[in-house]
Amino acid sequence: METKIVVIGAICATALLLAGCTSTGSQYYWGEYEDLVYKTHHNPDEVPPSVQIEKLQADIDKAKASGKPVPPGIYAHLGLMHAAQGDKELALQSLMKEKELFPESAVFINGIIQRSMTSS
Amino acid sequence: MYILKVALVSIVLLSGCATIEPYNYGPLKQAAPRSILVLPPMNSSVEVSAPYTYLSTVTRPLAEKGYYVFPVSVVDTFLKENGLPTPAEMNGIALDKIDEIIGADAVLYVDIQDWGQKFQVLSSVTVVQGSVRLVSVKTGELLWAAPINAQYNPNNNSSGGLLGALVVAVVSQIAGEISDNTPQVARMANNMAFNSAKRGLLNGPYKIEKSSY
Q: Looking at this predicted complex, what is its ipTM?
A: 0.81
Rg (Cα) of chain B, in Å, rounded?
19
Q: Residue B101 in contact with residue A112, Cβ under 8 Å?
A: no
Q: What is the pLDDT of residue A25?
A: 84
| Chain-chain contact of A38 with B183 (C-beta, under 8 angstroms) | yes
Q: Does the global pTM surpass 0.90?
A: no
Distances (CA, A) of B143 to A55, B30, B31, B94: 36, 9, 8, 17
Distance from CA of A114 to the nearest CA of B (A): 12
Of the candidates B110, B128, B119, the residue with the CA atom closest to the CA atom of residue B187: B128
Whether residue A108 and residue B170 make contact (CB cut-off 8 A), yes or no, is no
The answer to whether the CB of B36 falls within 8 A of the CB of B108 is yes
Helix (H, G, I), strand (E, B) or coil at B200: coil
For A69, the enclosing helix (H) or strand (E) is: none
Q: List, as own/partner pairs, every contact residues B18-24 make where C-beta atoms lie below 8 angstroms and the sequence separation is at least 24, other chains included.
A: B20/B198, B20/B199, B21/B198, B22/B198, B22/B199, B23/B144, B23/B198, B23/B199, B23/B200
Note whether B49 contacts A34, CB cutoff 8 Å. no
The CA angle A68-A27-B173, to the nearest 5 degrees, is: 105
Give the side-chain half-sphere CA count within 13 A for A76: 31
User: At residue B179, does pLDDT exceed 50?
Assistant: yes
Confidence class for position A118, pLDDT limits 50, 70, 90? confident
CB pair distance less than 8 Å for A98 and B207: no
- Tens of pLDDT, residue by residue over B91-101, are 999 999 999 99
Q: Which residue of B has its CA nearest to A103?
A: B68
Q: How confident is the model at residue B164 (pLDDT cuts 50, 70, 90)?
A: low
CB pairs under 8 A between A and B: 139
CB B55 within 8 A of CB A41: yes
Task: Decide if B71 and A102 are in contact by the 8 Å CB cutoff.
Answer: no
Rounded to whole angstroms, how far apart are CA atoms B89 and B205?
30
| Contact across the interface for B7 and A7, Cβ inside 8 Å | yes
| 3-state DSSP assignment of residue B153 | coil
Residue B88 scores a pLDDT above 90: yes
Calculate how close chain A gets to B51, using CA atoms only, in Å: 10
Residue-level pLDDT at A1: 47
Helices then strands, each counted (H, E), chain A: 6, 0
Strands B42-43 and B142-152: unpaired
- Minimal C-alpha gap between B131 and chain A (Å): 19
Write out chain B residues lying below 8 Å of A107, CB-based. Answer: 100-103
